[in-house]
Structure 1
């Protein structure tokens, strides 16, 4: 693995989201001096927080899996995740509701899930689930350390016996066909394949290897941190500060000061911060703009679909909703064609409804409830542009409420007393390419060693992290990206011991805000 040449004693991390905070903790554990620069007034990046009328709304990801990756970051400075974050395992992990009125609870416990599948679709499908579970577990074992948690310097590194094993396991077939080998019930096939949409590829075109996301959701378990998802980056920042990191909040990066092939300083609107190395976590276009150069690729990057998210504080809730409920429409393959090809809004949407107050009532005033409705939509490259979304947003919000009331959430519209609507126009305003928070799609040509590298040609001491680079989209992989960036800087990862040079916390809040120093 190629590491940065020259001195790397003081590292500036741009962005205090999951990627930046993961990088900071691993760098601190390896003895580096770390300064984290963040454009917002608080840590979190996309995992932010909006407070309205007593409702505490998470504005970013709502599904947390693979908490061992978080524990690894805390352990780099001698900490433990459980000492700082109260994680609650969700049972069920999801509830899947279908257009025919049926529903199935997705359990991570094998016996509970077998029983549920047998109830839902019969004993033959339960036996198929047992075989699917074994396959998903084997798939994860083949991929994690070799192909996901790894820095690639060349596609040649793929040539390993594990690649042959992955091919033999069917990892290079199509995801929908692979799931269909185990489950005949079309509804259950959806439960174990819809995750590919968040990687930007329909199940009919996604590699079967991406079933590893279903492993994370349906086998490794889904968790919720007490206090909301935003509680996790807050805890990470606190632990990093205690380990010696200095934080500059409200500090937008205006430029990188270059000397030859090295960055000598990061310049914000407040100060010039000299450095030996830089970890950049903003979305790729922003990072490349700061660097003043863009890598040459044979074809243009293709981006994932986007999402409209309605955060709603309500006076009531509905008993059929679990913490996470996937409400599937009747349409399936046609939906993906709309999202990725024609650029149309889903005519029969499948929606993710998250009710965090089912697990933590303190996120809303007494007797009130929070609901997040996520509707996948085309990104601004194939669908309506940001300007058009300024006109569409309110109408689409109303259409979603009508559809959800038709699906059984009667009185939803009139129960809303606080809300926040996020559309591709908002994602574009945050600096996300193609108006999507899900970055570059995980097509074959944008996966593994073919994904934008975390090293940038022509700049010796900069590493990229976040969902646009290795290994990709999602909270677990973004945490890994921070660790891989730290490994590029240090050549190793320190484990379990606090080796930071500064023993005192160094949180320094700047003034102002906005600009480009945001996080992934």
Structure 2
């Protein structure tokens, strides 16, 4: 058995009466929640089941290559700025950010040349692609307006009071918001451009939301403001550097972090959370008493495994109607020689991409390659591969079903997973003009849906979290606080506000707002006073 580490921050004392808090999970949501609670004055212990922190934002090293196994797009920089400001520091102090140019490269099926979105003049480049400036200008203006409204009045709301909906700025824009919620994203995009390539570029962010443009509310067209208007950044060291930064802050605030410690049961008495039973790094059963418990584990795991039936907030029948979002087959590839054909971020879009979304959602059986694929080449920007080699992260969205199997190293994963990755490598080879790509792979690891289910307790092996459909967005997504146990809270991608690292940071703040009984719509004032 691998023993975990116990890392303790400095013991803090202050004027406030400290309460004991236990945070379950050491991904972004768990680390951020622990840091904020500790800064607020709580004595915090964080329990992480894996040997290392980061959750899905993990890393794997082999033969001089350093691969990241999770998020790779750094978007919504103001959310990171705000979180670090809450903790009395700044993004500039914690991270080394570089702007990617191009922001990404797109390979369209059967197109002679790929399209590049430049770091500057992105709107002009898209206009040249489609030949229609007016529809795009209107679309991007609406995306920016909606994004600013979301950040200021929607994403940081706990929806615990009707006052959240009575903000004057919300009320004046309510008719437009209702239209955006009622119209699918793909239809909204089609009203602004008839060019199929531009429709795909404007619609692909729905994948970041765990759904398709046909199933996502058009409210989420705000995502186009991020990559087109704001541009795409990269933290040197990857998202592992971001994990390390949040861990540093948590330790500085006094959090005790314990890895290889798996939560087993959240206890409660007389309607209040009382603590957490867990298996420690030595395999011994332990108990931590606490007046505040925050679970950042998958909501399904928390509800069905960590809580007694009478302490569960969600009814069992609801899980049958829950859309888990897509799973994925991931490929971590070390490649000899350079790959200038690929940008830091590259997207491969099939012509009939709705077929792919239908296969991912289970509306039709898997039809095999070609599929829409995402490729990250961090070695274009960072030192993550030996000299003269490249590092590739390949993501192929698939249906959320652990039956597809586990991944493995050097092609030894389950056959279904390895076949999907083989087909993706061949597709990249053909579309990007790298005929000998497969022969140049020297390091290979695959990850499949069963790995997401096993390692992270992901519902149905989902790779991201529940899809952002209308019924799984905003206050309909998942509770921040338990309806059965006072002092029990939830954070992470499976609850409000949703999927992605920025959303996980916001969910940590929502826990703190709930503890304060703060029903305001916007973010907290920074920094948090000690």
Say whether the 8 Å CA contact 1:335–1:346 is kept in structure 2. Answer: no
Matches within 5 A, 1:217-296: 217-270=227-280, 271-288=286-303, 289-293=305-309, 294=312, 295-296=314-315
Aligned counterparts, 1:51-450, within 5 A:
51-99=61-109, 100-107=111-118, 109=120, 112-122=121-131, 125-153=132-160, 158=165, 162=170, 165-168=173-176, 170-172=179-181, 173-270=183-280, 271-288=286-303, 289-293=305-309, 294=312, 295-296=314-315, 300-340=321-361, 341-344=363-366, 346-360=368-382, 362-380=383-401, 384-386=403-405, 390-407=414-431, 408-430=433-455, 431-450=457-476
Structure 1 position 136, deviation (Å): 0.6
Distance 1:330 1:36, change over 3 A: same
| Structure 1 Cα separation of the partners of residues 505 and 219 of structure 2 | 20
CA distance in 2, matches of 1:494, 1:186: 41
1:473 to 499, 515, 523: 499
Residue 399 of structure 1: SS of its match in structure 2?
helix
CA distance in 2, matches of 1:221, 1:24: 30
Question: C-alpha offsets along residues 433-475 of structure 1, whole Å, 9 cap, x if unaligned?
Answer: 1111222112211111211212222111110001110111112
| Residue segments in structure 2 that go unaligned for 5+ positions in a row | 1-16, 281-285, 408-412
What is the TM-score normalised by the length of structure 2? 0.86
Unaligned runs of 5+ residues in structure 1 are: 1-6, 501-520
Q: Secondary structure at the match of 2:466?
A: coil
Residue of structure 1 in register with 2:9 after alignment: none
Q: Distance in 2 between matches of 1:75 and 1:390?
A: 45
The alpha carbon displacement at 1:484 in A equals 0.7
Measure, in 1, the Cα distance between the counterparts of 2:130 and 2:450. Answer: 41
Separation (CA, whole Å) in 2 of partners of 1:42 and 1:157? 38
Change (3 A) 1:459 1:165: same
- Residue 494 to residue 203, structure 1, CA distance change in 2 (3 Å): closer
Q: Which residue of 2 aligns with 1:516?
A: none
Q: Distance in 2 between matches of 1:337 and 1:77?
A: 43
Paired with 1:106 and 1:17, the residues of 2 have a C-alpha distance of 31
- State how far apart, in whole Å, the 1-side matches of 2:465 and 2:485 are: 23
C-alpha distance after superposition, 1:194-225 (max 9, x if no partner): 11133233212321101122222322332211
Question: Cα gap change, 1:410/1:34 in structure 2, threshold over 3 Å: closer, same or farther?
Answer: same
What SS does the aligned partner of 1:64 have?
coil
Q: Would the aligned equivalents of 2:25 and 2:297 in 1 still touch at CA under 8 Å? A: yes
Residues of 1 paired with 2:35 and 2:406: CA distance? 39
Q: Separation in 2 of the partners of 1:499 and 1:147? A: 24
CA–CA distance in structure 2, aligned partners of residues 229 and 353 of structure 1: 16
How far residue 60 of structure 1 moved from its aligned partner, in angstroms, is 0.8
> What is the RMSD computed on CA atoms of the aligned residues?
2.4
Q: TM-score, normalised by structure 1?
A: 0.88
CA deviation vs aligned residue, 1:219-241 (integer Å, no higher than 9, x gap)? 23322111121110111101211
Q: Distance in 2 between matches of 1:466 and 1:227?
A: 23
The ranges of structure 1 where at least 4 consecutive aligned residues each deviate by more than 6 angstroms after the TM superposition are: none
- Contact 1:343/1:378, CA 8 A, preserved across alignment: no
- Aligned partners of 1:308 and 1:377 also within 8 Å: yes
Deviation at 1:323, TM superposition (A): 0.7
SS where residue 44 of structure 1 aligns?
Answer: coil
| More moved, 67-76 vs 290-299 | 290-299
Q: CA offsets, 1:255-308, max 9 Å, x none?
A: 223333222222222332221201100111221121224312666212101111
Distance in 1, matches of 2:160 and 2:263, equals 28
What is the Cα deviation at residue 495 of structure 1?
4.3
Q: CA deviation at 1:387?
A: 7.8
Choose 337-346 or 159-168, whichever is displaced more.
Answer: 159-168
The structural deviation recorded for 1:312 is 0.5
Contact 2:46-2:256 within 8 A present in 1 as well: yes
Secondary structure at 1:308 match in 2: strand
1:480 is displaced (CA, Å) by: 0.9
How many residues are treated as equivalent by the alignment? 487
